[in-house]
Amino acid sequence: MGITIRERAPTPPMDIRDIHTPVFLERCIELLAPAVSHEGAVLVDATLGMGGHAEALLQRFGGLHLIGLDRDRDALAIAGRRLERFADRLTLVHTVYDGIAAAIAGTGTDGVDGILFDLGVSSLQLDEADRGFAYSHDAPLDMRMDQTTGMTAAEVVAGYGEGDLRRIFERYGEEKLAGRYARAIIAARALTPIERSGQLVQILIDATPAAARRTGHPAKRVFQALRIEVNAELSVLERAIPAALSSLKVGGRIVVLAYQSLEDRLVKRAFARASASTAPAGLPVELPEHAPRFRPLVKGAELASDQERARNPRATPVRLRAIERVRPEPGKETA
């Protein structure tokens, strides 16, 4: 297996290692190590980004082959440059992470030993102002993680009705002022198109009562909601986690880093189902075929330590969950 995408990114203005600090790096390595430290192990980095976690894993485990997935071609290009010295142990695939099963099959691998999900918006996307993810920078309202396809945030803001805007602000942003913000956007766009993040931020600020402004930036939750809607993040994750679990060999491990509660709840539920007995209620003895096929590796969700938060502020909201396959799927007892 070798690199399948070889785009070259422009030389960054500074060393990529200085601008990208992987979150929970040592803890991820610690949790994945028992599954991927043997010769010939295969790990999927389902959210490759700029390759920080991938670089550390490839350095640490000399017999590891890594399959890196990302929907962002710019990220794949940067990661390919960063990881070029590992070319003979690296496969890069341009895909959304719910395509994990197809990506694994495309390498000729029938199962993997480890999978890492580092969810949410990447450092690259946040730090490149012209991508429109950050409410602190004026930029075109894009927010697409893959800029080659799909609806932009500007198109959502321009085309969704008041009810739909309110729905996504409530559901994906958990925004208490969702209705007020939806009405403000409808009124503002009747006067002029809302095409830039700065315009939207000002609309939201103007619509926010003075008391509410003291509890955080008015745009934070709305921008999160728009990003999730544009990239279908939750529906993608709902498909990706079961596909990832099914792709693990016995002894294989998954680590997930979630940055907001909606993602974490979805992962929590999926892991709980996977690690529960399937025995019918009232059965006096659990039969072997009903025994859990996975076991959790951490109790609940781990949070970043004070030291980790000081070193990397982006770790502050992260919730880490991890799980290990202990039994094969039915019909795959020899897997």
Q: Which residues are annotated as a binding site?
A: 51-53, 70, 97, 118, 125
Annotated binding site for S-adenosyl-L-methionine: 51-53, 70, 97, 118, 125
Helices (H), 65-209: 73-82, 100-106, 123-127, 153-159, 162-173, 178-189, 197-207
Q: In angstroms, how far is the first alpha carbon of the chain from the final one?
A: 21
Q: Burial level of 60, CB count in 10 A (0-12/13-18/19+)?
A: middle
**73-88 burial, b if ≥16 CB within 10 A, otherwise e?**
bbbbbbbbbbbeebee
> Which 8-state DSSP code applies to residue 68?
E
Nearest to 41 by CA among 22, 60, 26, 16: 60
In angstroms, the CA 22 to CA 194 distance is: 34
Strand-pair partners of 45: 68, 116
Q: Burial level of 102, CB count in 10 A (0-12/13-18/19+)?
A: exposed
